[in-house]
């Protein structure tokens, strides 16, 4: 019987929880597939729990304790393991991003969260709620940076973003931060890690005016849509909704600039931001 202990929620509890599951499984002499069979899930599912990609659910925690004879450890520490720096309506989205075979973002307001630089996301978070303490701001920044770790895999997910041109034109955080942000997106495009298109302002009314959404497709599960609103969001698997959002994305892609033309516009905007501080300095010297 394993010794009673608790997780410290300040020390990556989900990672610790997954590591403990792996340790106890190995102590019991079971493979991921063998434990999965007893829990009525796949071996890869167990691997995702151990890696902290999936969140442990109460029924799995209870089965893990019974099978591994861990004296209630997994049930007792479930709350710590499920703690997330993300809003409750977004925590599952982060999990599914890590499992998706492809992710498609429609971003009409800010650069997509997965592509944001640290300085840009800090400016966005502070602008959204100026009453947030510095500690909360930094916690949210760190959480967004962790999300971008899905790009460490060179193959998955396949990522496609369509962004409104207004994102290139609104100087979030100032010219230096915008230049860095746009250069980062351009670098991701040039490394062939993402596809990005810009919907030009000249397009006028368009199919995506209803709001922000994300499409996620999976190898062995139905596709999902995440529709975002103010202080809320919905994760939807209704085939009618998925089909409608897929059509909207196709219409946006058809109306947007080509990937090559979009890259040119992004790099042109970055260059303009880079020149802006120099131009201001030059004007001051002339004055």
Whether residue 100 is found in the same domain as residue 72: no
DSSP class of residue 3? P
Measure CA of the first residue to CA of the last residue in the chain; give whole Å. Answer: 79
Angle ∠(254,178,108) on CA atoms, nearest 5? 35
Whether residue 125 is found in the same domain as residue 221: yes
Greater confidence, 90 or 30? Answer: 30
* pLDDT level of residue 113 (50, 70, 90 thresholds): very high
CATH number at residue 31: 1.10.260.40
pLDDT digits (tens, 9 = 90+) for 135-155: 999 988 988 888 898 898 888
Q: Are the C-beta atoms of 80 and 17 separated by less than 8 Å?
A: yes
Count other C-beta atoms under 10 Å from residue 148's C-beta: 17
CATH number at residue 136: 3.30.870
Whether residue 29 is found in the same domain as residue 170: no
Report the range of poorest mean pLDDT among 23-32, 85-94, 114-123: 85-94
Whether residue 62 is found in the same domain as residue 106: no
Greater confidence, 182 or 232? Answer: 182
pLDDT of residue 154: 86
Whether residue 75 is found in the same domain as residue 105: no
Please identify which residue in the block is written with the tokens 């650069």.
111
pLDDT digits (tens, 9 = 90+) for 212-235: 999 999 887 889 999 988 778 888
In a domain, 3, yes or no: no
Q: Which regions of 21-157 does DSSP assign to beta strands (E)?
A: 102-107
Calculate mean pLDDT across residues 31-52: 87
Whole-number Å distance between alpha carbons of 287 and 278: 14
Whether residue 74 is found in the same domain as residue 109: no
Count: domains in the chain: 2
Q: Domain containing 154: what range?
A: 88-286
Answer with the one of 82, 100, 133 that is the final residue of a domain.
Answer: 82
Q: Are the C-beta atoms of 69 and 24 separated by less than 8 Å?
A: no
Answer with the one of 59, 82, 105 that is the final residue of a domain.
Answer: 82
Whether residue 94 is found in the same domain as residue 213: yes
pLDDT of residue 276: 83
Q: Are the C-beta atoms of 246 and 102 separated by less than 8 Å?
A: no
Calculate mean pLDDT across residues 24-36: 96
Answer with the one of 27, 53, 82 that is the final residue of a domain.
Answer: 82
């Amino acid at each position: 019987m394993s010794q009673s202990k608790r997780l410290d929620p300040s020390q990556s509890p989900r990672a610790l929880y997954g590591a403990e599951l792996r340790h106890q499984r190995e102590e019991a002499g079971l493979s991921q597939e063998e434990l999965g069979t007893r829990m009525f899930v796949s071996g890869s599912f167990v691997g995702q729990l151990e890696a902290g990609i999936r969140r442990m659910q109460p029924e799995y925690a209870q089965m893990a304790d019974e099978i591994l004879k861990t004296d209630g450890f997994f049930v007792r520490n479930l709350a710590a393991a499920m703690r997330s720096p993300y809003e409750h309506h977004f925590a599952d989205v982060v999990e599914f991003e890590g499992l998706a075979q492809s992710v498609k973002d429609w971003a009409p307001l800010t650069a997509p969260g997965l592509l944001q630089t640290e300085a840009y996301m800090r400016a966005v978070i502070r602008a959204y709620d100026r009453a947030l303490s510095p500690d909360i701001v930094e916690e949210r920044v760190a959480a967004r940076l962790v999300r971008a770790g899905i790009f460490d895999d060179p193959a998955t997910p396949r990522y496609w973003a369509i962004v409104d041109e207004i994102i290139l034109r609104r100087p979030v955080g100032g010219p230096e931060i915008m230049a860095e942000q746009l250069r980062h997106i351009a670098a991701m495009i040039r490394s062939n890690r993402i596809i990005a298109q810009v919907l030009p302002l000249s397009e006028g009314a368009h199919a995506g005016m209803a709001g922000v959404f994300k499409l996620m497709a999976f190898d062995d599960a139905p596709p999902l849509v995440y529709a975002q609103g103010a202080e809320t969001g919905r994760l939807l698997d209704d085939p009618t909704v998925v089909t409608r959002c897929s059509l909207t994305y196709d219409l946006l892609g058809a109306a947007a600039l080509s990937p090559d033309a979009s890259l040119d516009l992004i790099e042109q905007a970055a260059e303009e931001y880079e020149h802006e501080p120099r131009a201001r300095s030059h004007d001051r010297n002339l004055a």
